[in-house]
A and B are shown apart, each in its own frame.
Chain A
Amino acid sequence: MFFHIFLERNMLLHPRHFGPHLRDKLIAKLMKDIEGTCSGRHGFVVAITGVEDIGKGLIREGTGFVTFPVKYKCVVFRPFKGEILEAVVTMVNKMGFFAEAGPVQIFVSNHLIPDDMEFQSGDVPNYTTSDGSVKIQKESEVRLKIIGTRVDATEIFCIGTIKDDFLGVINDPGAAS
């Protein structure tokens, strides 16, 4: 789920950046530092939409670095248990398949794939229904439900299922070809 929230961070800025463009430098650094990171609490920071407030800088003794408390608004993405997501399949193997929804990697175990879909190994490993009408392979787009998340310091990993109503392949580029 996406959220647009305020976050705060203390930015450490090198004295060489001091000057007329200090603010720009600070924001640039903030974006560089923050965007794409992941925290367990908020999830992935997708984009910084604006800087609300930059507090007074505090010069650190000895180093000359300055700490600015920066309050910024950003879009975060955090997957939740039970959430329905659309994801792109990145890898298929006999244990299941991996899909990505933006920065989140989701593993769908073969136990969580409908029973009528069988794993077909070969050049393009895939899961196919017995009648061959539905096929999950690399690059397929699937709709899945997250049933579990594991949050590391730098990564959120999810387990998903497509064994439910209205879940499964929504667009399969491979099938068309």
Chain B
Amino acid sequence: MPRRLEDEYEEEEDDAEEELDEETYDAYDARAGGRKRGRSAFIDDAAVEEDEDNYEEEDEEDEDELRGGRGRKQRKRGSEFFDLEAQVDSDDEEEDGDEAEDDFINDAGADLPDESGGRRTHRPLNMMPEDQEDVEEMERQVYERYAKSSHIEYGDDATEVEQQALLPSVKDPNLWMVKCAIGRERETAICLMQKFIDRPELQIRSVIALDHLKSYIYVEASKEAHVKEACKGLRTIYNSAKVMLVPIKEMTDVLSVESKTIELSRDTWVRMKFGIYKGDLAKVVDVDNVRQKVTVKLIPRIDLQLLANKLENRDVVKKKAFVPPPRFFNIDEAREMHIRVERRRDKDTGEYFEMVENLMFKDGFLYKTVSMKSIRSQNIQPTFDELEKFRKPGDDADGDMASLSTLISNRKKGHFMKGDAVVVVRGDLKNLKGWVEKVEEDTVHMKPDMPGLPKTLSLNEKQLCKHFQLGDHVKVFSGVQEGATGMVVKVDAHVLIIASDTTKEDIRVFADNVVKSSEVTSGITKLGDYELQDLVLLNNKLFGVVIRVESEAFQVLKGVPDRPEVMLVKLREINSKIDKRVNAQDSRKNIISVKDIVRVLEGPCKGKQGPVQHIHKGILFIHDRHHLEHAGFICVKAQSCIVVGGSNDRQGGNKFDARFSLRPSSPYLQSPRRPPRGPTDNGGRFNRGGRGNDTLVGRTIKIRSGPFKGYRGRVVEVTGALVRIELDSQMKIIAVKRDDISDTSGSATPFREPSRYGVGSETPMHPSRTPLHPYQTPMRDAGGATPIHEGMRTPMRNRAWAPMSPQRDHWEDGNPGSWAGTPQYQSGTPARSYEAPTPGSGWANTPGGNYSDTGTPGENSPLYGNSPSPYLPSTPGMQPLPLGSANYLPGTPGGQPMTPGNIGLDIMSPAMVGDNEGNWVFPDVLVNVIRPGEGPSCTAVVREVLMDGSCKLALGPTGDGDIITAHPADVEAVRPKKSDRIKIMNGALRGITGKLIGIDGADGIVKIDDTYEVKILDMKILAKLAGQ
């Protein structure tokens, strides 16, 4: 059977071929043949011959492509039809459909193939009568045609020029594209052909339906009208359908076929198309071209349990969704599950296989025989992972060979370029190295790197592989690692191992995917909107730095400081890029900002150092060039780092400095002399004891001036003269001069008072001395922060104070200049004018607290409570209050108590008063109850202190009167006299009773009841006990 032979020996079978063709182009093709002739006539008379030849040639080439299934089918089909010879070839075409058809179009230049398009059932019916009619004519023509060509030697001498002559020119009929019903292209073509056969006057020449082009057919005709005429009345062609001309240049493209040579050979990698193995990589172990079957080697996806169940005819629960993961078949495992495993010898190969049911296993692989159609062999790019799995010990060469053949078949055009170093990988010259000289289609001319060989060798491209040497600097241009560059550190046949430039990691690539390059990159650096080294926010609220961009995903170093966590993140899993300029604090409270160089002090990355790339939520991403993992990124907590070149000082001032380093005043405030003075200072100014800054922290305050005047907030931190306040109304923290704030809340500050009193009582001299400091401080401040107000106010105050308070004599001494120098303040400007707009009010109440704690009437009264005119001694305390100094100086003692008291209350936070009261009020203490507007107060005995700070009082000096409830602000402790029983209301001895055995100025000498110790305590913290 010539057909059969032809598969192998096309060349020699020319004659047979032609004969066959003769038969092939059966009777009904007569016209086509005629047309073809006619068409040739258009070209050139002289060319006709060659034309013919070329057709033949093409024909033959096409045959090559068709080889394989063709012969076989023919045999099969041939008997099915009466019109044996006529049918044979067309049936082939049909079968081979994809490849064959288009070629035939070229061959015949006629509508034959269209007709062959899958209408085999009715075609014979339609055609046969027609065929038979002019079968003789046909025969003649065909004979004529092929008789001629058969004598002509053709083959190599057909040059390109001759081929060129075949290309359509303006003289040739045009191709028209006609729209038809979708899916009925072939039908339409056949209909048209039938129509043409029926009505030979139609002026169309051919009809072409392409499988890959839906809803269009091509009609060859000289004029559009001819096409329209032909199409008229066809069901599948719409009337309105427009006829489009195919430009001459594109005509060849319409009919040219991309050759799809399926080269299935052993050891090629393929992928499965269907079933549970869909997409799995498989290796061809045997090809049966005759039966169109291949045996492939797969990693089995077998659920042994399921198999066992099945074998034992137990219930087989069909779980469709579940695809068992691929794993190697283990006989022992199978046996354990009572699966019978037989060992059989394959008849053909003589190899042993483990058989389970009808599944064949070997070395854990599943050997499966499948139809060629169920595998995909084009563009298989096995990943290294997959290859690794397939690789078994001792199998290396094999695996490489396989991947090599796959690779080679996947090569793109223009793979080799002049100058490439190549190595022969197949054939006699295997391992010969050389350089590419010239590339011609598939043939590569190479200059061998070996003496004694011809200057150039021409080899098939498939025999060659790119070759690199150790140390070559290369760039990967395709595959997963696309874009990466590095130096070749190992050449393993056609697999290269590259040390990446950036990461120094190993990259395994195929030599084919690599070019020499001097460029240095880390591969692709951008994907979507995100680039390498970007800080990104992930969907799950995590964040991290992109440390590598892969072809479809990012590697992200998560912002987890303890240990480096790398995550593979898809593009869509990234929420956004974090691009904020934020700062953080290092372990020494230095400010870290981006680009600062920091050193890691603790944790796994201790000792690493590098510039900060990103800061987010107190976590730093440091880029250390010498850190090789994670692209050099280190993720650490800001607290475990230190800024290189930053301060090691832990002082508060520093903290402050770092933060507000722009402020000129800061160095001032940081002066080393200050801290020791701090407590006194604060105590003096702020009516609170020597606790310093801490007392203020956490307190709710009101801002008295500045841009945030009137805001309330909570003190977060006190740094020098500045207070950081978290505003209640706005979500921010601001820094305010502490002079600009006033306490406002009623929250208890128990610690404050005790300390104050403590100071007072333990060191009686202090109260008087303390004021000295505060006044110095404002002046210092005046220089730095608020020059005008304070500078002005301070002297004023001094003056106002000095004359009045006897204990302030030294004060005058301390500040004589201010005293004498600014007398006009006193009279000229009412104190209020200073107080109101400035922190002055803060000041006003501060000294009040300092000097005698008399700023508030509440405090006054306990001290002087039992003196007939309690307010007289306390007047100095009133002074700073917003009374005009003029007002004060002549002030009548009687009038004063109330007014300054009220004002004092206004300015001082009522809370403070409350605090004080709450603190000092003790049961059994004798108090004066002040009821505004009721004139002189009456005495009462505290019976009980209620939770809210108010107290139950029993009126009368002995507590036998009515019980009333009074707010602490309305009561004052009665100042004890000598030899009175007292209670200590504050300080370390708070709550202890004793006897006042003497009064020395503002101090009382107290004999403690329990211990009989004699203590000198501030009179202010002493309250008279009732019931004496």
Interface positions of A (Cβ within 8 A of B): 81, 91, 93, 95-96, 107, 109-112, 146-150, 152, 157, 159, 161
Contact = CB atoms under 8 A, between A and B. Distances in A.
Contacts of A95: 499, 504-506, 628
A109 B520 contact: no
B703 to A, nearest CB: 54
Contact of A150 (B470, B497, B501): B501
A91 B628 CA distance: 10
B473 interface: yes
The binding surface of chain A is classed by DSSP as: strand
Contacts of A150: 473, 487, 501, 518, 520
Interface string B459-482: 000000000001111000000000
B490 A111 contact: yes
B506 A81 contact: no
Interface string B864-905: 000000000000000000000000000000000000000000
Interface of B: 470-473, 487-490, 497, 499, 501, 504-506, 518, 520, 626, 628
Nearest to B505: A95
Contacts of A110: 506
B176 to A, nearest CB: 60
A112 B497 CA distance: 11
Given A148-B487, A159-B499, 20 more contacts: A91-B626, A91-B628, A93-B628, A95-B505, A95-B628, A96-B499, A96-B504, A109-B489, A109-B504, A110-B506, A112-B470, A112-B490, A146-B471, A147-B470, A147-B489, A149-B471, A150-B473, A150-B518, A159-B487, A159-B489
A117 to B, nearest CB: 15
Given A95-B504, A150-B520, A107 B499 contact: yes
Contacts of A146: 471
Listed residue (B471, B518, B628) with the most chain A CB atoms within 10 angstroms of its CB: B471
Contact of A148 (B488, B497, B520): B488
Nearest to A81: B471
A112 B490 CA distance: 7
B522 to A, nearest CB: 14
List the 9 shortest-distance A-B pairs measured between CB atoms, nearest first.
A148-B471, A147-B471, A111-B490, A109-B489, A148-B487, A147-B470, A159-B487, A111-B489, A109-B499
Contact of A111 (B473, B506, B520, B628): B506
Most B CB contacts (10 A, CB to CB) among A81, A95, A149 go to: A95
A107 B473 contact: no
B982 to A, nearest CB: 71
18 contacts: A91-B626, A95-B499, A109-B489, A109-B499, A110-B506, A111-B489, A111-B490, A112-B470, A112-B489, A148-B471, A148-B488, A149-B471, A152-B520, A159-B470, A159-B471, A159-B499, A161-B470, A161-B489
A146 B470 CA distance: 10
A150 B518 CA distance: 8
Nearest to A90: B626
A158 B473 CA distance: 11
B238 to A, nearest CB: 65
Contacts of B487: 148, 150, 159
B497 A111 contact: yes
Contacts of A159: 470-471, 487, 489, 499
The residue among A96, A107, A111, A152 with the most chain B CB atoms within 10 A of its own CB is A111
Residue in B488, B497, B499, B506 with the greatest tally of chain A CB atoms within 10 Å: B499
Contacts of A111: 489-490, 497, 506
Given A147-B470, A159-B471, A107 B506 contact: no
B632 to A, nearest CB: 13
Contact of A109 (B501, B506, B628): B506
Contacts of B504: 95-96, 107, 109
A96 to B, nearest CB: 7
Contacts of A109: 489-490, 497, 499, 504, 506
Contact of B473 (A93, A96, A148, A161): A148
A27 B472 CA distance: 39
A94 to B, nearest CB: 9
A91 to B, nearest CB: 7
A64 B470 CA distance: 52
Contacts of A147: 470-471, 489
B200 to A, nearest CB: 75
A28 B487 CA distance: 39
B652 to A, nearest CB: 40
A37 to B, nearest CB: 19
Nearest to B474: A148
A125 to B, nearest CB: 12
A38 to B, nearest CB: 15
Nearest to A98: B504
B146 to A, nearest CB: 63
A111 B489 CA distance: 7
A146 B471 CA distance: 8
Contacts of A107: 499, 504
Nearest to A108: B489
Q: Which of A107, A147, A148 has the most CB of B within 10 A?
A: A148
Nearest to B471: A148
